């Protein structure tokens, strides 16, 4: 039976320092319900992107309230955007706001992928008492190795493009309010994105002027080429041993954060206390941007390779049902790992990662 739904837009969520962030709330019209929180840097009103993570309407029909929030300094939300660092305390405040609403049962979980996955892990580091579970997709185990640097080398193509395009152009309307020459800055930024190879060739890197007023954190990344305390304060892999909550980790074999996804799963299973050891892993034949498709370049993985075929939304909702509602449809008895085997183009279940029967070869 269809559930009548209420949609509220631009609902203010205050942070502890008085900064107002804003969210869209979708919820059943009556009653109190567990809350699924998505904290995004890419715009709460871009519903298509959210559907590719978890369809909020389907979640409401399942009996959840859904909160999709612009993080600090992005789109509708006030403040200065400081990637990763801000998401620890802000994540705590956002979770506890969700738990305190009259339409909430006080049980909160989080979902989302990429940076939206990072906001979940970072909120978990703050240990908000109402956070029961997280479902981070295609995201890293820390934001130095595998995100900004790789083996000690700057991932210039990714870091610069992400800062310029996704974080600056995508949010330029808000950034423009602080600029007295917004039109000129916007034109210069578009030109840089249009010819990224020229930006990559610019030397010295620290002197590239385009992001100085738009994304000062990019230059902070350059100022910390080693894995130091700047990176450690937000490194998920440093804290598995104190994260007592279940996680549903999903990723792609071709994803830029594939190593981080499996490291998060294995780290939680091996080091976390209590329910942290109940974490799950699902890996499909996807890259960072091709999920939920079943092809990559000229390689096709068959109909079963798509996220729709495996019903990735359904896997997340079953996970939330178990941990927020106490509903067990067999979830507790299933193996914790679900893998897509490329070549055979089929899914199979396993009990650990790496597989116990692995034959290690130099």
β-strand partners of 154? 149
In DSSP terms, 40 is beta-bridged to: 70
167 phi and psi, to 5 degrees? -90, -25
Nearest to 267 by CA among 357, 353, 358: 353
**Which two three-digit tokens encode residue 244?**
């007592």
**Active site annotation includes 288:** yes
Is 55 assigned a catalytic role? no
Instruction: Find the angle CA(65)-CA(307)-CA(84) to the nearest 5 degrees.
Output: 60
**Catalytic entry in 90, 239, 288, 306:** 288
Helix or strand (DSSP H, E) at 348:
strand 346-350
- 255 catalytic? Reply is yes
Separation in Å, CA 315 to CA 69, 72, 77, 139, 331: 23, 30, 31, 18, 10
Q: Six-digit token pair at 81?
A: 């955007």
Sign of CA dihedral 175, 179, 184, 188: negative
Write down the catalytic residue from 70, 90, 93, 255: 255
* Cα separation, 320 vs 315, whole angstroms: 9
Could you tell me how many helices (H) and strands (E) the chain has, helices first? 13, 14
Which one is catalytic: 77, 94, 114, 279? Answer: 114
CB–CB of 137/292 below 8 Å?
Answer: no
Task: Just list the catalytic residues.
Answer: 114, 255, 288
């Amino acid at each position: 039976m269809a559930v009548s739904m209420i949609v509220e837009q631009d609902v203010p969520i205050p942070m502890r320092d008085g900064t107002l962030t804003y969210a869209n709330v979708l919820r059943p019209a009556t009653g109190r319900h567990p809350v699924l929180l998505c904290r995004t840097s890419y715009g709460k009103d871009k519903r298509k992107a959210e559907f590719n993570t978890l369809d909020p309407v389907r979640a409401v029909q399942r009996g959840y309230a859904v909160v999709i929030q612009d993080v600090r300094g992005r789109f509708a939300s006030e403040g200065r955007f400081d990637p990763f660092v801000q998401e620890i305390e802000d994540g705590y405040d956002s979770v506890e706001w969700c738990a305190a609403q009259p339409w909430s049962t006080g049980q909160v979980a989080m979902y989302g992928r990429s940076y939206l996955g990072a906001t979940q892990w970072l909120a978990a580091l703050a240990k908000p008492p109402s956070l029961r579970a997280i479902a981070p997709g295609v995201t890293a185990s820390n934001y130095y190795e595998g995100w900004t640097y790789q083996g000690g080398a700057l991932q210039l193509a990714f870091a610069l493009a992400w800062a310029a395009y996704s974080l600056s152009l995508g949010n330029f309307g808000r950034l423009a309010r602080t600029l007295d020459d917004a039109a000129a800055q916007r034109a210069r930024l578009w030109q840089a994105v249009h010819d990224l190879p020229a930006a990559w060739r610019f030397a010295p890197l620290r002197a590239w002027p385009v992001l100085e007023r738009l994304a000062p954190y990019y230059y902070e990344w350059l100022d910390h080429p080693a894995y130091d305390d700047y990176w450690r304060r937000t490194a998920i892999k440093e804290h598995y041993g104190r994260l007592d909550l279940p996680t549903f980790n999903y990723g792609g074999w071709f994803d830029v954060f594939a190593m981080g996804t499996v490291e998060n799963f294995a780290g939680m299973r091996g080091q976390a206390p209590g329910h942290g050891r109940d974490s799950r892993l699902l890996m499909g034949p996807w890259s960072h941007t091709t999920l939920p498709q079943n092809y990559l370049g000229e390689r096709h993985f068959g109909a079963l390779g798509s996220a729709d075929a495996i019903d990735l939304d359904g896997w997340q909702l079953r996970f939330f049902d178990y941990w927020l509602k106490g509903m067990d449809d067999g979830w507790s008895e299933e193996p914790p790992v679900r893998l897509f085997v490329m070549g055979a183009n089929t899914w199979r279940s396993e009990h650990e990662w790496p597989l116990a029967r692995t034959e290690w070869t130099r």
